[in-house]
Amino acid sequence: MTAGLPPEEDPGPPPGNPAGPPPGDRLPGVIGHDAQWRRLDPKMLLVHPVQEAVRFLPAIAAVFVTGRTSERSPLWDLAILGLVVAFGMSRWFTTRYRIWGGQIELRKGLFNRSLLTTPADRIRTVDVTAPLWHRAVGLARVEIGTAGGGMLADRIILDALAAPVAQRLRSELLHRSTAGRVEPVDPLGSVGPVDPADSADSADSADSVDSVEPAGASSPAGRAATSSTAEPELLLAQLDRAWIRYAPLTSSGLVSAAAIWGFSAQFAGDLTSTINDAFGRVAALGAGLAVLVGLIAAAGAVSLLAVTAYVLSFWDYRLTRHPGGTLHVRRGLLTVRATSLDEARVRGVEVGEPLGLRLAGASRLTAMTTGLGRGAADQGSAWLTPPAPRAVVLATALAVVGDRPALTGALHPHGPAARRRRFVRAIVPAVVTAGGVLWADRLVDLPTGLLVAGCLPLLAAPWLAADRYAALGHLLTPAHVVARGGSLGRRRDVLAREGVIGVVVRESFFQRCAGLATLTVTTAAGRQGYRIVDVPCPRAEDLAGLLLPAEVTAAFRA
């Protein structure tokens, strides 16, 4: 990507193609039949000023309050509000985009003009989101992820386009190899039929992002071939409202509760007396009953927040497969999000089994794909299923990777040395903590609750160690390498062997004493590094030899 070009400079067609692509190598209905720069949808002038006003709301409120206390003229307040609105509107006047010569170009900036350019063949994902204010005026936000790892500089954002235009753009960018025609349907609505390209011509157009009509489609025979192969998208999974019962078993409720508590703590000063009165009434019930009431109230509040977060994030969830080779995930209640993943760039899946979901027989699924970055799973871009029954998640994962042994096969255990290490790492810190609390109690009379809290880890440590060892394991199939580990946040990583780009073997001092090593399989997708913890050293060397080319393996063993 390049940045910093002056506003008046037009880079023109890319090097090596001075005349630009031929007339058929463009996006009809999206970019038009010329190479002129295109603006975003004019209706964004209704959205962006509101977004900027909300963004600067604290500053606007502070200016308004200070103006009332200082008896300043209200015209100053209106002038500042006008500047914010003008800044929001300026984005439409200063943003241009085009698809030309097999690459995407985005020009933006008012004072600091920049030009973002990426080849079309580096596109990995296309996100189409529609917040509530976008949906009200029929707009959508398109975010294009490239092979650069998903950082902000590697993503082209078009905010905002008309929803049908966003759909056609998304379909063409990810389905260019089919060179088929996509019906202009709402990308955030129901899935429409797709006409894949004539297979004989798809290979010729695979390198061009700008082609929509297959070669020969203009002839009667070409049109007949295209229309006769129309196929709908294949539905892989969709939301069952019964899945909402798994929401309280995730950490989203705790995260939401912490965020709300942190926000409300800023205004708790005026409610101190009311809060103290409420605590006093609960304490009057007795210590045991007060703790019970507090735990029930906290669990109820966290569960309610978790259910709310689940519904907002995953309402109307659908996972479909396009005949052109992409996975489409659509979800959301207020902010609807449609993510498209190029299956050719999907390198595997992660089956998450946190303790709460595991006890309820549920799990969740995310994709390992290039172009999303390491934080994609946490941000939701790589989610393939929400927390759902384990059978549903495994069936979806099987449809994506097609390797049943990698998903359900028994894992190779790591032996007695790894087991001892799990128990030592869990019990020794718990013994130190309990001993410190008991020693402090001899010096200072500690409350009973603190003593119990200090000794509880010692009781839970053996169970935690046994559970962590039960989760530990790995597996190598002809197509995938599998790693599993963790207890509270257990995860089974299924990575395609063709996506492995390196292997890192590390041994700490204590691991060397135990004859163990941690093997990290590196890839350009997902978290970019997947660890197989506490593998016996001979086994780690064998795995490296199987995953790496022969010449690299020889150097490794040397």
CA dihedral 275, 278, 280, 282 (to 10 degrees): -140
Cα 111 from Cα 291, distance rounded (Å)? 58
Give the angle 461-463-467 at the CA atoms, nearest 5°: 115
Looking at residue 272, its pLDDT comes to: 57
Of 135, 52, 36, 128, residue with least CA distance to 91: 52
Q: Which two tokens stand for residue 459?
A: 């009781």
pLDDT in the model for residue 320 = 93
One DSSP character per residue, 394-436 reads: HHHHHHHH--HHHHHSPPBP-HHHHHHHHHHHHHHHHHHHHHH
CA distance 81 to 464: 57
Half-sphere exposure for 66 (CA within 13 Å, toward CB): 8
Q: What's the pLDDT at 217?
A: 36
Q: Tell me if residue 234 falls in helix, strand or coil.
A: strand
Exposure string of 129-138, with b = 16+ CB inside 10 Å and e = fewer, is bbbebbbeee
Contact 139, 130 (CB under 8 A): yes
- In the sheet where 516-523 sits, what is the strand order? 500-506, 516-523, 529-536
Could you tell me if 523 and 547 are in contact, meaning their C-beta atoms sit under 8 angstroms apart? no
Sequence-distant (6+) residues with CB within 8 A of 278 are: none
Return all residues near 257 (Cβ < 8 A) that are at least 6 apart: 301, 302, 305
Q: Rounded to whole angstroms, how far apart are CA atoms 495 and 533?
A: 16
- Residue written as tokens 């963004």? 55
Burial of 393 (0-12, 13-18, 19+ CB in 10 A): buried
The pTM for the full model equals 0.72
Rounded CA-CA distance 238/318 in Å is: 4
SS (H, E, C) 492-535: EEEEEHHHEEEEEEECCHHHHHHCEEEEEEEECCCCCEEEEEEE
Indicate the DSSP class of residue 369: E
Alpha-carbon distances, residue 21 vs 9, 33, 118, 206, 538 (angstroms): 21, 11, 16, 14, 55
**Which residues fall within 8 angstroms of residue 466, CB to CB, at 6 or more apart?**
422, 423
- Provide the token pair at 112: 């600091």
The amino acid at residue 558 is: A
Q: In terms of DSSP H, where are the helices of 23-56?
A: 44-55
C-alpha span between 342 and 125 (Å, rounded):
6
**Distance separating alpha carbons of residues 317 and 314, to the nearest angstrom:** 5
Structure tokens at 371: 């172009």
Beta pairing partners, 480: 496
Question: Containing H/E element for 63?
Answer: helix 57-70
Compute mean pLDDT per 10 residues along the chain, 558 residues long, and list them: 39 43 41 64 84 72 66 72 78 85 83 81 82 87 71 69 86 57 38 34 32 34 38 88 91 67 56 62 66 79 87 92 87 88 90 92 91 59 91 95 93 94 93 90 81 86 93 94 92 94 92 94 90 94 83 50
Structure tokens at 203: 């290979």
**Is the torsion defined by CA of 379, 384, 386, 389 positive or negative?**
negative
Burial environment of residue 440 by CB neighbours within 10 A (0 to 12, 13 to 18, 19 or more): middle
Q: Which residue has the tokens 């203009």?
A: 218
Residue 240 φ then ψ, to 5° = -110, 125
Length reported for the chain: 558
Query: Positive or negative, the Cα torsion across 291, 296, 298, 299?
Result: positive
Q: CA-to-CA distance for 530 and 486, rounded, in angstroms?
A: 13
